[in-house]
Amino acid sequence: MSTISRPLLALVALLAAGIGSVQADAAVRLKDIVSFEGTRDNLLVGYGLVVGLNGTGDDVTKSIFTRESVIGMLDRLGVNARDAQLTVRTKNVAAVMVTATLPSSARQGGRIDVAVSAMGDAKDLQGGTLIGVPLLGADGEVYAVAQGQVSVGGFSAKGAAASISQGVPTAGKVPDGAIIEREIAFDLSKMQTMNIALRNPDFTTAERIANAINGYMHGTLARATDNGTVALTIPAAMRSDVVGLVTRLEQLRVEPDQVAKVIIDDANGVIVMGENVKISTVAVAQGNLTVKITETPQVSQPGALSNGTTQVVPRTDIQVDTGKDRRLAVVPQGVTIQELVNSLNALGIGPRDMISILQAIKAAGAMQADLEVH
In contact, 262 and 315? CB cutoff 8 Å: no
Mean pLDDT of 58-85: 81
Based on the fold, state whether residues 203 and 219 are members of the same structural domain: yes
Based on the fold, state whether residues 242 and 272 are members of the same structural domain: no
Q: What is the pLDDT of residue 270?
A: 78
Mean pLDDT of 149-176: 78
246 has pLDDT over 80 = yes
Strongest mean pLDDT among 170-179, 271-280, 345-354:
170-179
Based on the fold, state whether residues 142 and 159 are members of the same structural domain: yes
In contact, 53 and 120? CB cutoff 8 Å: no
Reported confidence tier of residue 33, pLDDT bands at 50, 70, 90: very high
Query: Using CA atoms, how far apart are residues 35 and 37, in angstroms rounded to an integer?
Result: 7
259 has pLDDT over 70 = yes
> What residues form DSSP beta bridges with 372?
263
Which range (121-125, 234-238, 263-267) has the least confidence? 263-267
Q: What is the share, in percent, of the chain residues with pLDDT greater than 90?
A: 32
Q: What is the pLDDT of residue 88?
A: 62
Q: What is the pLDDT of residue 222?
A: 94
Of 157 and 28, the structure prediction assigns the larger pLDDT to: 28
Of 106 and 187, the structure prediction assigns the larger pLDDT to: 106
Residue 132 placed within a domain: yes
Residue 37 placed within a domain: no
Based on the fold, state whether residues 175 and 47 are members of the same structural domain: yes
Based on the fold, state whether residues 198 and 111 are members of the same structural domain: no
Mean pLDDT of 16-23: 46
Strongest mean pLDDT among 206-210, 268-272, 279-283:
206-210
Reported confidence tier of residue 240, pLDDT bands at 50, 70, 90: confident
Based on the fold, state whether residues 101 and 155 are members of the same structural domain: yes
Burial readout 10-31 (b: 16 or more C-beta within 10 A, e: otherwise): eeeeeeeeeeeeeeeeeeeebe
347 has pLDDT over 80 = no
Residue 366 placed within a domain: yes
Residue 27 placed within a domain: no
Q: What is the pLDDT of residue 214?
A: 94
117 CB-near residues (< 8 Å, 6+ apart): 96, 97, 99, 170, 171
Of 207 and 337, the structure prediction assigns the larger pLDDT to: 207
Based on the fold, state whether residues 78 and 152 are members of the same structural domain: yes
Based on the fold, state whether residues 71 and 197 are members of the same structural domain: no
State the total domains in the chain. Answer: 3
338, 339, 322: which is closest to 330 by C-alpha?
Answer: 339
Based on the fold, state whether residues 47 and 173 are members of the same structural domain: yes
24 has pLDDT over 60 = no
pTM of the model: 0.61
Residue 47 placed within a domain: yes
Reported confidence tier of residue 17, pLDDT bands at 50, 70, 90: very low
Based on the fold, state whether residues 52 and 122 are members of the same structural domain: yes
93 has pLDDT over 70 = yes
Residue 8 placed within a domain: no
Domain residues for 78? 42-180
Residue 13 placed within a domain: no
Q: What is the pLDDT of residue 21?
A: 45
167 CB-near residues (< 8 Å, 6+ apart): 152, 153, 154, 155
Based on the fold, state whether residues 163 and 63 are members of the same structural domain: yes
174 has pLDDT over 50 = yes
* Interstrand relation of 370-373 and 261-265 (parallel, antiparallel or unpaired): parallel
153 has pLDDT over 70 = yes
10 has pLDDT over 50 = no
Average pLDDT for the chain: 79
Task: Among 138, 160, 180, give the residue marking a domain's end.
Answer: 180
Based on the fold, state whether residues 267 and 344 are members of the same structural domain: yes
Mean pLDDT of 202-210: 94
